[in-house]
Chains A and B, each alone.
Chain A
Amino acid sequence: MINRRMLLAWTLALTLCGVAATANAQQRVLRHDESAPGRLDPSKVVDYASSVLAMNVYDTLVNGDPSGGVAPSLAESWTLSADGKVYTFKLKPGVKFHGGGEMTSEDVLFALERTLALNAGYARLFKGVTGTAPDARTVVLTLPAPNAAFLATLVRLPVMQKSLVLKNVKPGNYGDKGDYGEAFLAERDAGSGAYRVVEHNPQEQSVLAKFDGYFGQFATNAPDVVRIRYGVEPATVRTLMARREFEVTSQWIPSEIKRALAETEGMSVISERGAGYFIMPMNTTRPPTDDPHFRRAVALGLDYTALIELMKVTPNFAGAVPITGMLPSGLLGHDKTLPANRRDVAAAKAELAKSKYASNQPIMELIWVGEVPLEEKIGLLVLQNLAEIGIKVNLTKVPWTLLTQQVTKAETTPNMTQRFVSAPYPDPDALISQNHSRYKSTTLKMDWYSDGESDKLIEAALAVTDQGKRRELYGQVQRRLLDATSSIYPFETVATFVKQNYTVAPMLDDTSKGVAVQGGNWMFRTFSVNK
């Protein structure tokens, strides 16, 4: 009886060992993974994964430019009024939407209205902006105040087809606009980008297909189909890469796995840099980090060379590079003359002796976010470094959701936290404004340091358009903040990925061609799959 049943099980198992499906040979496919979930709604983009989707499915008036500024995209040209408040954009003719029909200025205005109405994603950047459409190819956007970063922020305003969205509205909270197409745009697209959405499942995968009516250029052998998988385990990605069933990994897999893959025949590491840094904010309101001498002791006590070594992907591929000041190399205001990080144990001990916690020192609480295992390694190194100068540290792991709660109050914000930051739009304001006091009680400003003068400088740098003047103002902000040592900026980050060598990704293969926009180097139309 038992034997017969087991035999049956085995026969069944063997029958299942049929032939695995064969790959589809005719099409060029690019397979890639990202952290879950991919958000498709262009007005709700907040993270890397959703940025990559938006960059490919939708177009914006301007794109990031490798030189640091912006380049024309949907807008052919633009002019700015003398008072710095009115932008007039001339739109490119003949831009087609995936749903048929040509783009007009109405569609641009609709994107702005919808973004402001939903008030999600990067809506804050466009607060108070109003628009008019004198004719089908002209858009006039009026700003509440001059804003030097405005053009750069436009990379966060994807243009969508008004008629298609309005045709698909369901009942909702937005008056005559119903749900403003929220349900529709969560799963379908209304863009004009190089790729259209074939299938979208926020936690499984997005399948994109080349849009033949695209107004711009495709690289030779650009992928016909792009499959982005969400939240795949590193060991799985590793297996898929080895089986050549995957073209490019995300940056989220551990560097040990990247190293193992890089040593495999036919694969190499690619990267993007210049737009991000690693920051360790110190809560300036809680002992012992409320004392500037103590904070300086910490800053002088860290071993920055070892940290950068820790971030290495392979012996000759960096995952981090030294930083001067607080702006990464790809942005205006990056200044090599600003003081660089250095370790000086004697000076650190001297600062500690000067602090009010020289004799009776409370334990410093350093946290790392459970979702980012790399932060544990960094935390351990910090623990070891600071032990050498006599600072006691308690390393604690917290889930992200708990951290978002802790930072809402100064009393519960940990002494020292860690965060990887990258610029959402190609302007120094994207990063430096995170030091503005208005971001207190969010994860952007975990040092609780308020300095009216810095706030004013940050605002002033946004209000002037002269680049030289801006650079100077950003220099002043950086010096001020570095002197207060409310946060430590240990290094500029280099996001690394592993690709199959038969894949070409120009903006990632050569970092000098990359742009300082989160997700902006993942324009799949620039990729080639030479398989």
Chain B
Amino acid sequence: MIKYLLRRLAASIVVLIGVSVLIFLIARVIPGDPARIALGPMASEEQVAQLRAALFLDRPLIAQYVEFARNLLRGDLGVSLYTNRTVTTDLRQFLPATAELVAAASLLMVVIGIPLGVLAGHFRDRWPDHAARLAALLGIVAPSFVWAIILVLVFSYWLDLTPVIGRLSDSIVRPPVTTGFVTVDSLIAGDWAAFKDASWHLVLPAVALSLSGAGQAARLTRANLGETYGRDYIDLARAYGFAGRTIAWKYALRPAMIPTLTILGLDFAAKLGNAFLVEAVFAWPGMARYGVNAILNKDLNAIVGTVLVIGFGFVVINLVIDLFVAYLDPRIRYRAAV
């Protein structure tokens, strides 16, 4: 186990170095001159040349990477041409917002998706199954930002229930930052009003973001539940007279969770970068939107910074999921340790 973990950690560092090299190169292949884009068409050639020099863009690629790596080791990701601030400042400000949103959405994916799938699997080919299928597919037929708009229209425009934009109402004083999650921070500060307001702001974007993942989770759970229900050992367990519910949980649900959790994990990390349109609808000051704007403006430092964060997210979540899979089926743990 420890050996496995160490091996994975070592591999993860290699992965992150690989990601940094790859994104460093790929970002430079994106069409457009970052200096020209940042300065605008009015700027003279000489202005553009000056900025290119300041960004080391006039040096050979290797020299650029060495400069980048040296700064990275000092925790310096450079300045974003898009926001005119250091990338680390930007990430520190935008990442918690996205992380909070994605965490809430992931929670919803699990809470909505898995029970829906279990329900469908239990009543296979009867009406609850069909209803659950339709519900699950709805999350897939429109991108999450379309659901975001629909939710805003229903709950904010017609029903006038929920707030529309931002993480907190203008009138609420933001609790001191400890975790960067406004909901958690307000709880730590014991500010109940702020917590309520922050949660209330979080609900719609989180729901919108969770629908596609919840739909997938439900379908995958249902599909695998059917699979494991049919296995020999379930019959055996039933023959020994376990209560039906215990069977469902321990022998059918646990292994059936493996595909669901694998995909949910990927979805979690992917949403760190993909949530940008939902963030745009709710004016959520998140990293996903920052990353996309950086990409569209060829803001090299910001692209590399954001992608490294997302890459880190994938590495960590995949490790967690791989370990969790071993927990769900103990026989795997034994094998993995070899």
* A interface list, Cβ under 8 A from B: 1-2, 5-6, 9, 13, 16-24, 29, 36-37, 39-41, 44, 46-47, 119-124, 127, 173, 182-183, 186-187, 201-205, 227, 229, 231-233, 235-236, 238-240, 242-243, 245, 371, 399-402, 404-406, 408, 424, 439, 442-444
Contacts and interface: CB of A to CB of B under 8 A. Distances in A.
Contact of B293 (A36, A47, A233, A239): A36
Contacts of B37: 400-401, 404
What are the 10 closest A-B residue pairs judged by CB atoms, nearest first? Answer: A21-B169, A401-B32, A204-B285, A46-B40, A405-B31, A202-B83, A18-B196, A442-B41, A186-B84, A443-B41
A444 B296 contact: no
Interface string B277-300: 100111101000110010011100
Given A124-B47, A201-B93, A245-B164, A24 B171 contact: yes
Nearest to A182: B84
A238 B149 CA distance: 11
A231 B276 CA distance: 11
Interface stretch (B151-159, B211-219, B254-262, B317-325): B151-159
Contacts of B38: 120
Given A2-B118, A124-B42, A232 B32 contact: no
Contacts of B50: 119
A58 B293 CA distance: 27
Given A47-B40, A120-B47, 9 more contacts: A2-B118, A2-B119, A20-B162, A24-B171, A41-B84, A119-B50, A203-B293, A236-B149, A236-B152
A124 B40 CA distance: 11
Contacts of B293: 36-37, 203, 231
A236 B281 contact: yes
Contacts of B298: 401
A239 B82 contact: no
B169 A401 contact: no
Interface stretch (B2-10, B131-139, B197-205, B267-275): B197-205
Contact of B296 (A2, A13, A236, A400): A400
> SS class of chain B's interface: helix, strand, loop or mixed?
helix
28 contacts: A1-B245, A1-B249, A16-B196, A16-B203, A17-B161, A20-B163, A21-B193, A21-B197, A24-B171, A37-B293, A46-B40, A120-B38, A120-B51, A123-B47, A183-B86, A201-B285, A203-B285, A204-B283, A231-B293, A233-B280, A235-B281, A236-B283, A239-B157, A400-B37, A401-B31, A401-B298, A404-B37, A405-B33
A46 B36 CA distance: 12
B164 A236 contact: yes
B153 A235 contact: yes
A186 B85 contact: yes
A24 B169 CA distance: 10
Contact of A404 (B32, B93, B200, B280): B32
Contact of A203 (B86, B161, B249, B289): B289
A440 to B, nearest CB: 10
Contact of A233 (B83, B111, B281): B281
A183 B90 CA distance: 12
A227 B165 CA distance: 13
B232 interface: no
> SS class of chain A's interface: helix, strand, loop or mixed?
loop
A16 B43 contact: no
B282 A236 contact: yes
B44 interface: yes
Contacts of A37: 82-83, 293
A495 B264 CA distance: 45
B226 interface: no
Contacts of A187: 85
B93 A240 contact: no
Contacts of A408: 33
Contacts of A123: 43, 47
Contact of B115 (A2, A44, A239): A2
Interface string B24-36: 0000001111001
B125 interface: no
Given A123-B47, A203-B83, A243-B156, A231 B280 contact: yes
Contacts of B118: 2
Contact of B36 (A20, A229, A404): A404
Contacts of A236: 149, 152, 164-165, 281-283
Interface string B235-264: 000000000010001000000000000000
A275 B51 CA distance: 30
Contacts of A183: 85-86
A301 B226 CA distance: 64
A524 B40 CA distance: 26
Contacts of B62: none
Contacts of A229: 165, 283
Nearest to A408: B33
Contact of A20 (B83, B111, B197, B296): B197
Residue in B32, B94, B165 whose Cβ sees the most chain A Cβ within 10 Å: B165
A443 B40 CA distance: 9
Contact of B42 (A6, A41, A46, A235): A46
B199 to A, nearest CB: 5
Given A120-B47, A204-B283, A16 B289 contact: no
A413 to B, nearest CB: 13
A439 B165 contact: no
Contact of B290 (A5, A13, A203): A203
Contacts of A41: 84
B149 A233 contact: yes
Residue in A2, A229, A400, A439 whose Cβ sees the most chain B Cβ within 10 Å: A2
Contact of B283 (A1, A21, A22, A232): A232
B172 interface: yes
A124 B44 contact: yes
B84 A404 contact: no
B173 to A, nearest CB: 11
A439 B203 CA distance: 50
Contacts of B84: 39-41, 44, 182, 186, 202
A186 B80 CA distance: 11
B165 A240 contact: yes
Residue in A47, A227, A443 whose Cβ sees the most chain B Cβ within 10 Å: A443
A235 B31 contact: no
B160 A6 contact: no
B295 to A, nearest CB: 8
B54 interface: yes
